[in-house]
Each structure stands twice: as structure tokens, then as C-alpha cells.
Amino acid sequence: MAYESTRGWVEQLDRAGELLRIREPARTNLEIAAAADQESKSAGGGKALLFEKPVGPDGQEYGFPVLINGYGSAKRMAMALGRETVEEIGEEVGALVKAKPPAGLAQAWDLLKRGLELRHARPVSTRSGSCQEVVHRVNEGGKGLGEIPVLKTWPKDGGPFLTLPQVITEDPETKERNVGMYRMQVLGSWEAALHWQLHKVGARHGKKYREMGQPMPVAVALGGDPANAFAATAPLPDGIDEYMFAGFVRKKSVAFVPAVSQPIRVPADADFVIEGTVDPQGEPVDEGPFGDHTGFYTPVDKYPRFRITAITHRKDAIYPATVVGKPPMEDFWLGSASVRILMPVLKMNFPELVDLALPAEGVFHNLAFVSLKKQYPYQAFKLMHGLWGAGQMMFTKVIVAVDEHVNVHDTSEVLFYLGANVDPERDTIFIKSPCDSLDHAPSVPNVGSHMGIDATRKLLGEGYARGWPEECRTTPEAAARARELMARAKGGR
Ligand SMILES: Cc1cc2nc3c(=O)[nH]c(=O)nc-3n(C[C@H](O)[C@H](O)[C@H](O)COP(=O)(O)O)c2cc1C
């Protein structure tokens, strides 16, 4: 199922009892973010919140409502992608890559790309789009970003930040499109800082434009079908168009129109589109501080200045936002959906891989739990090295490997085996690796070490000659009889 706009998505959330409308005025300065933080930590991720009367720092009322925590539960994440469950999409991806088992990760991605094309997920062109119902150009004056209820989410943030943007760029040579979710700090009515981190595709495109000395056209879409923003977060390899992926997920191609002021195409269904350029000779600007996914403030750093040339929007646009910080938060559900959907691609390359979880406490890159079917000595280490070599998994600081029967989605169960099965000196490995730019722990930004902990049962070939002990488990008959006895006792019969 596809949604024609954020409004269509909000109506669906409302019908499903998943939306809370806040009709009283609420400030974009901290208040809306604090409400979403509290809600996302309530049972099951709480509800999506629609703030109908956002109010700016000077008391000004905005003309657009704010949707936040829209993706913030397993149910809403699946609804956002127009499905009953996210696993359903993973199964479809599995069917695509199983057609011809690939010899490596690159081949697996290639198979997925060709599969997506065959599924008629290719973006299409259209002549007009609702995203351009209203057009504001920089030379006409106007409030620019000041019209949009952009949130300041934490007290020491350097200003208001757009937190769910789909940042669209093109490779200047191949013209391949990339869409990444990179936050944007508002610097002025027609100016922002673009936070594409060092390792991301937007940064690679930016470097090419700089080297070629050409101004870089950039478009930032907000809203539209919620599958679009999800696709912008998915760790797809360079070369797979995220909007093609969104088309596959929602079973309907994404339609595009030419931007009004830049030579770039934009999704016709977006609620807002912000168009502009990055100057190849321009000095980078201070970006931050920003209360980040990590639960800490990321300090000020240098990022490209985005000069806005036009802002277009729907007449009835809704501004989508999120707040990131100490987990669990809305971003956990976006990250988990990527893992569930892309797992078949990883499994194709690592046949021993049974399951993988990025627990909320690890905020994406700090912690991964993997279960595997171990056949030979050091296979857990082999799997860890493979995962560290797989795209954005390279950022994973600590990987804990457990046997196939362990439920990696149950952190308590994983911790039990971590404690029970590990001889720390024998079972840990350390590697040097690029690190996530947000990670404040390494002594030098962007580089550091990663650790792998093998919490599987050990084999003779791994130097364990004592005979691994058997786990205590009662018989199925005794367990069944116990359940009956207890049920009767508790029921008073
Ligand atoms: C809510 C949210 C905000 C994000 N903000 C940023 C950001 O500011 N900068 C960044 O480089 N990545 C950010 N990410 C992660 C990227 O969106 C993600 O790594 C994506 O796969 C990058 O796309 P790319 O591989 O096309 O560069 C964010 C993710 C989420 C879910």
C-alpha cells in the first residue's frame, strides 16, 4: 500500500488508533521533542504525535502541523511501509537474491538491484507534483525556512535542526542519484548546514563536485510517502537508488518532477522540497552542537553550507520530524526495519548467519548480536570479519556471537551466554577500523578499534578439550505437567 502524502499517512494512523493529536499550542523549542522523547519510551513505543499548533521561539504560530514518532513502534514501522509486518519485505528480498546464489556481497547487491528493476520499482517522471503547489524563491524574499516549524530538540543544540530530511544528490559523472538522511541545521532563512558524515555517499558526491569546481545541486525532500524517508536511512550500497528501493517496498514507483530552481529531480509527493546548492569553493561552516543518537552532544564540526534557492510545498503540508537521544527512540525502529529487510542479502554471503540484532541500547553501531550455526573452529571470528567488511556494518564497535539457538532479540538471553561461555582472553579479538563520526569514545575522530566476542560453545579445534557441559533443561513432559499444575493452582481449582 502506498500513501499519497504525509496527510494520507496521518489519516491511516488515526484510523488505526495509533495517533495522538495535541491541539494545544506547543513550542518547537524543546517542548515537542520532550513530548516525543517521553512517548517513545512508553510501552511499545507509544503513539505517533501530531502537534496541530506548533509555536516558534518568538511565539509565532506556524501554518503546518508537526508529525513526530510516526515510525516509533513495530506496528507503525510496518504500517509506514504499507505492510502487515516488516519481515514480509525481507522475505521478498530473500526471494530476489535466492534466484541465483551470489559469489560475494557485491554480486548480492547487484542481484538485488536487478531484482528491484524487474519489479517495476524504477522511479517514473510526471509533469506536475503536489510538492510544488506553492513555490517560494529566494529572490522573492519571504521567510524561507522560517515558515517551517523546525524543532530545537535538546537545550544545548546549536539551533533548530531538520531531523528527517531526504537529501538528494547526484554523482556528477555517472548521474546516479543518492538519497541519504543527513540532518540539516538552520543557519538563516535561506541557509543551512548539511551534515553528511565523512563515510556517506552525499559526502563522496560533494568531494567530486569540489574537485571538479562545479556548484553542487542539492534537493531535500520532507515527507511524502513515509517509505521514502525510511529508504533514505537504509544502508544500501552506493549505486542502488533509495527511491527505487522505496518503490519496491511500497509496491508503487516513486514519481518525480524537475525541481523549480536546480537541475535535479524531486519526488512529486513530498510535503516540502528545499532546493539549493553547495559552493565548491565555499568554506565549510560550524555545525552543531547537536544532541545525537548516541545520547550525548556531538560537538561543533565543519560541514558544507547549503544555499537555498527555492522552497516548494503542498498547500496542506505536514512537517515530519524526529528526536534522537538516549534509547529507545523512534530511530531504533527505522534501524531494525533495515536489518530485517536486508538480512537475506547478508545471509546469502554468510551461510552460517542465523540472526542479527542491533539492540536499542547500542544505538545502531555500538553493539550487534549475531547467532550462527558453527561448523568449524573460529567460524564466529570469520563471520565477524565478514560483517565488519559489509558496508555500514564497518562501524559496529562490539559484535557478540552466540550459538544458533540463542534469541539475539532477547538481550538478557545474550548476556547470559556472554557471561557463561566466554573466556575473555581466548574469545575476544580486536581490530583497527573506521569508526562512526558520532562516536565520541575513540581518541581520534573517525578511527579506532572494534571488539568481537565469541560467546558460542567451544570446539576441540578451538583448544577446548574439557568437553563442553550440557545445558540444564527439563523434559517436555515434566514441563507440560508443571504448567497444568501451576495453572490449576493459580486458578484456584
Ligand atoms: C533519524 C536519522 C538521522 C540521521 N542523521 C544522519 C546525519 O545527520 N548524518 C549522516 O551522515 N547520517 C545520518 N543518519 C544515518 C544515515 O541516514 C544512513 O547511514 C544512511 O544509510 C546514509 O545513506 P548513504 O549510504 O546513502 O550515505 C541518520 C539516520 C537516521 C535514522
Q: What are the pLDDT digits (tens) for 311-363?
A: 999 999 999 999 999 999 999 999 999 999 999 999 988 999 999 999 999 99
**Beta strands at 166-170 and 177-180: parallel, antiparallel or unpaired:** antiparallel
Domain containing 65 — which CATH number?
2.30.110.10
- Is 292 tagged catalytic? yes
What pLDDT does 388 receive? 97
Q: Are residues 378 and 268 part of one domain?
A: no
The residue assigned the cell 508503487 is 252
What pairs with residue 370 in β-bridges?
A: 356, 401
| pLDDT(118) > 80 | no
Cα–Cα distance, 181 to 167 (Å, whole number): 6
Q: If you take atom 22 of ligand 1, which residue's CA is the nearest one?
A: 180
Domain boundary (270, 304, 321) is at 321
Residue 338 lies inside a defined structural domain of this protein: no
Residue 265 lies inside a defined structural domain of this protein: yes
Q: Categorize the per-residue pLDDT at 479 as very low, low, confident or very high, splitting at 50, 70 and 90.
A: very high
Comparing 456 with 119, which gets the higher pLDDT? 456
Task: Assess contact for 138 and 280: CB atoms under 8 A.
Answer: no
Residue 164 lies inside a defined structural domain of this protein: yes
Residue 471 lies inside a defined structural domain of this protein: no
CA distances from 491 to 480, 483, 485, 487 (A): 16, 12, 10, 6
**Which atom of ligand 1 has the smallest separation from the CA of 391?**
25
Q: Are residues 366 and 224 part of one domain?
A: no
List phi, psi (to 5°) of 119: -80, 15
What pLDDT does 121 receive? 82
**Which atom of ligand 1 has the smallest separation from the CA of 203?**
27
Mean pLDDT confidence for 289-315 = 98
Mean pLDDT confidence for 114-134 = 87
Q: Are residues 185 and 267 part of one domain?
A: yes
Q: If you take atom 21 of ligand 1, which residue's CA is the nearest one?
A: 235
SS3 at position 237: coil
Give the Å distance between the CA of 179 and the centre of ligand 1: 10
Catalytic residue among 292, 427, 436, 439: 292
Residue 12 lies inside a defined structural domain of this protein: yes
Best mutation site among 151, 153, 197, 233 for ligand 1, i.e. most ligand atoms within 8 A of its Cβ? 233
Give the Å distance between the CA of 233 and the centre of ligand 1: 5
Task: Assess contact for 7 and 318: CB atoms under 8 A.
Answer: yes
Give the Å distance between the CA of 99 and the centre of ligand 1: 30
Residue 25 lies inside a defined structural domain of this protein: yes
What pLDDT does 108 receive? 82
Determine the residue type at 19. Answer: L
* Residues of the domain holding 420: 350-462
Q: Are residues 408 and 288 part of one domain?
A: no
Mean of the per-residue pLDDT values for the chain? 95
Mean pLDDT confidence for 155-160 = 98
Determine what percent of the chain is predicted with pLDDT higher than 70: 99
Q: If you take atom 6 of ligand 1, which residue's CA is the nearest one?
A: 182
Domain boundary (321, 336, 365) is at 321
Q: Are residues 382 and 303 part of one domain?
A: no
**Which atom of ligand 1 has the smallest separation from the CA of 322?**
1
**Beta strands at 285-287 and 301-303: parallel, antiparallel or unpaired:** antiparallel
Q: Categorize the per-residue pLDDT at 147 as very low, low, confident or very high, splitting at 50, 70 and 90.
A: very high
**Closest Cα partner for 197 from 283, 336, 277, 302?**
302
Q: Are residues 370 and 235 part of one domain?
A: no
What pLDDT does 493 receive? 60
- Rounded to 5°, the CA angle 179-370-397 comes to 65
Q: Are residues 359 and 251 part of one domain?
A: no
| pLDDT(257) > 90 | yes
Q: Give per-residue pLDDT as tens, 230-239.
A: 999 999 988 8
Mean pLDDT confidence for 268-279 = 98
Cα–Cα distance, 112 to 124 (Å, whole number): 19
Q: Are residues 365 and 273 part of one domain?
A: no
Task: Tell me the helices (H) and strands (E) count for the chain, helix number first.
Answer: 13, 25
**Closest Cα partner for 395 from 438, 337, 333, 453?**
438
Q: Give per-residue pLDDT as tens, 183-199.
A: 999 999 999 999 999 99
Best mutation site among 161, 184, 200 for ligand 1, i.e. most ligand atoms within 8 A of its Cβ? 200
Residue 330 lies inside a defined structural domain of this protein: no
Q: If you take atom 30 of ligand 1, which residue's CA is the nearest one?
A: 233
Give the Å distance between the CA of 150 and the centre of ligand 1: 18
Structural domain total, the chain? 2
Kindly list the protein residues whose Cβ atom lies closer than 6 A to any atom of ligand 1: 163, 178, 180-183, 195-197, 200-202, 233-235, 322, 324, 331, 334, 392
SS3 at position 31: helix
Cα–Cα distance, 149 to 42 (Å, whole number): 25
The residue assigned the cell 501451576 is 486
Q: Are residues 100 and 30 part of one domain?
A: yes
Cell of 365: 553501531
List phi, psi (to 5°) of 189: -60, -35
**Which atom of ligand 1 has the smallest separation from the CA of 234?**
21
Domain boundary (301, 321, 341) is at 321
Q: Give per-residue pLDDT as tens, 372-394.
A: 999 999 999 999 999 999 999 99
Determine what percent of the chain is predicted with pLDDT higher than 90: 91
Domain containing 417 — which CATH number?
3.40.1670.10
What pLDDT does 95 receive? 87
What pairs with residue 478 in β-bridges?
A: none
What pLDDT does 260 receive? 98
| pLDDT(133) > 70 | yes
What pLDDT does 422 receive? 98
Cα–Cα distance, 472 to 469 (Å, whole number): 9
Q: Are residues 186 and 287 part of one domain?
A: yes
74-83, 95-104, 298-307, 384-393: range with lowest mean pLDDT:
95-104
The residue assigned the cell 515537542 is 32
Q: Are residues 172 and 37 part of one domain?
A: yes
Q: Are residues 431 and 381 part of one domain?
A: yes
Residue 118 lies inside a defined structural domain of this protein: yes
Q: Categorize the per-residue pLDDT at 39 as very low, low, confident or very high, splitting at 50, 70 and 90.
A: very high
